[in-house]
Amino acid sequence: MGRNRKKKGLPVHGWLNVDKPVDITSTQVVGILKRLFNAQKCGHGGTLDPLADGILPIAFGEATKTVQWAMDADKEYVFTIEWGRSTATLDAEGDVVATSDTRPSAEDIEAALEKFEGEIDQIPPKYSAIKVDGERAYDLARDGEEFEIPSRTVVVHEARLIEVPDEDHAVIHVRSGKGFYVRALARDLAGALGCDGHVSQLRRIRVGVMHEGAAVKLADLEAMESRDDLLKTLAPIEQVLDDVPDVEITAQDAADIRLGRDVMLMPHVVERWRTEKSPDPDDRLTLAMYGDEAVAMGEVRAGRFQPMRVFQMG
């Protein structure tokens, strides 16, 4: 006879806006927080490299069902390029693979950055988590394998020069869409300027609605003495879904949806949803709300709400 396995930890649900320090992986942060909160389930929404700091969205419990939307959100970065040396990893961690004496002027950097705004084709770094034939690219790169990563179209909403503290460095601010790599931009920018360079510092200052002004430092979380204080730092599941239109449902609707059933919506609810939804006719993504509680993600079709991701927070 099989035994019923109890899940380790307690049910914890919600999002945490963590300010990740340098020299620690995103996975290590998840492990620390899972232990601190004694949580059954925990994950992150968008990896930050160990040498990068800043916003790392952490999902607990049922919030993990919304991670894909958190990862699709716009992001903002402030990073420093060090000119004169290109590295294998495109950051300060890797071995130097090329050097040059060329140092671009502020005017040249600003002019070059303009060409990287809008929709651009970008080849992700070989030292990245992208899968190539089922293997992580960084594993293949570390093993010395030869491989190519195809380019992808990414969106850069804004790329501007903040300052040039000295001739060897430039500080840049970027606001981008999903799938964008700062290290790849630094590589391509250096190439466009006819010089070598790599990312020497990187900070992510925003992921969707999560920004650095409201972030909690990992050290401050570790210093909290009570679990209640930790739980107060969590935001509700729907926080990362602020751009998804919602529909109001009844208590009976909520009960039916939690059983996986479609529910019929009131005409005025459907009409309000139509005015708030994306102009894309194929985008029917909707959040079902019972009062202040998120019940499910789903789609509205023919006046009915069809659940896709149901939140079981009981």
The band of 5, judged by pLDDT with boundaries at 50, 70 and 90, is low
pLDDT at 181: 95
Is pLDDT above 80 for 176?
yes
Is pLDDT above 60 for 146?
yes
pLDDT at 72: 86
Is pLDDT above 80 for 265?
yes
> Which residue among the candidates 49, 53, 188, 256 is catalytic per the annotation?
49
The band of 314, judged by pLDDT with boundaries at 50, 70 and 90, is low
Query: Could you give the CA distance from residue 54 to residue 153 in angstroms, rounded to a whole number?
Result: 25
Q: Which domains does the chain have, with CATH numbers?
A: 14-73+210-239 (3.30.2350.10), 75-207 (3.30.2350.10), 245-310 (2.30.130.10)
Q: What angle do CA 117, 21, 199 make, to 5 degrees?
A: 40
Across the range 30-35, mean pLDDT stands at 96
Residue 53 annotated as catalytic = no
Among 151-165, 224-238, 270-284, the range scoring the smallest mean pLDDT is 270-284
pLDDT at 36: 95
pLDDT at 228: 92
pLDDT at 6: 63
Is pLDDT above 60 for 13?
yes
pLDDT, tens digit, for every residue of 83-112?
999 999 999 999 999 999 999 999 999 999
Is 200:84 a contact under the CB 8 Å cutoff?
Answer: no
pLDDT at 1: 44
Is pLDDT above 50 for 40?
yes
Instruction: Tell me the H-state helices in the chain.
Output: 26-37, 67-72, 106-114, 137-142, 182-192, 218-223, 227-231, 251-258, 267-276
Can you spell out the DSSP letters for 20-72?
A: EPSSS-HHHHHHHHHHHHTBS-EEESS---TTEEEEEEEEEGGGGGGHHHHHH
3-state SS, residue 233: coil
The band of 281, judged by pLDDT with boundaries at 50, 70 and 90, is confident
CA–CA distances in Å: residue 285 to residues 249, 276, 299: 15, 11, 5
For the chain, how big is the Rg over CA atoms in Å? 22
Quote the pTM value: 0.90
Across the range 176-203, mean pLDDT stands at 97
pLDDT, the chain, mean: 93
Is pLDDT above 90 for 129?
no
Q: How far does Cα 185 stand from its chain's mean position?
A: 17
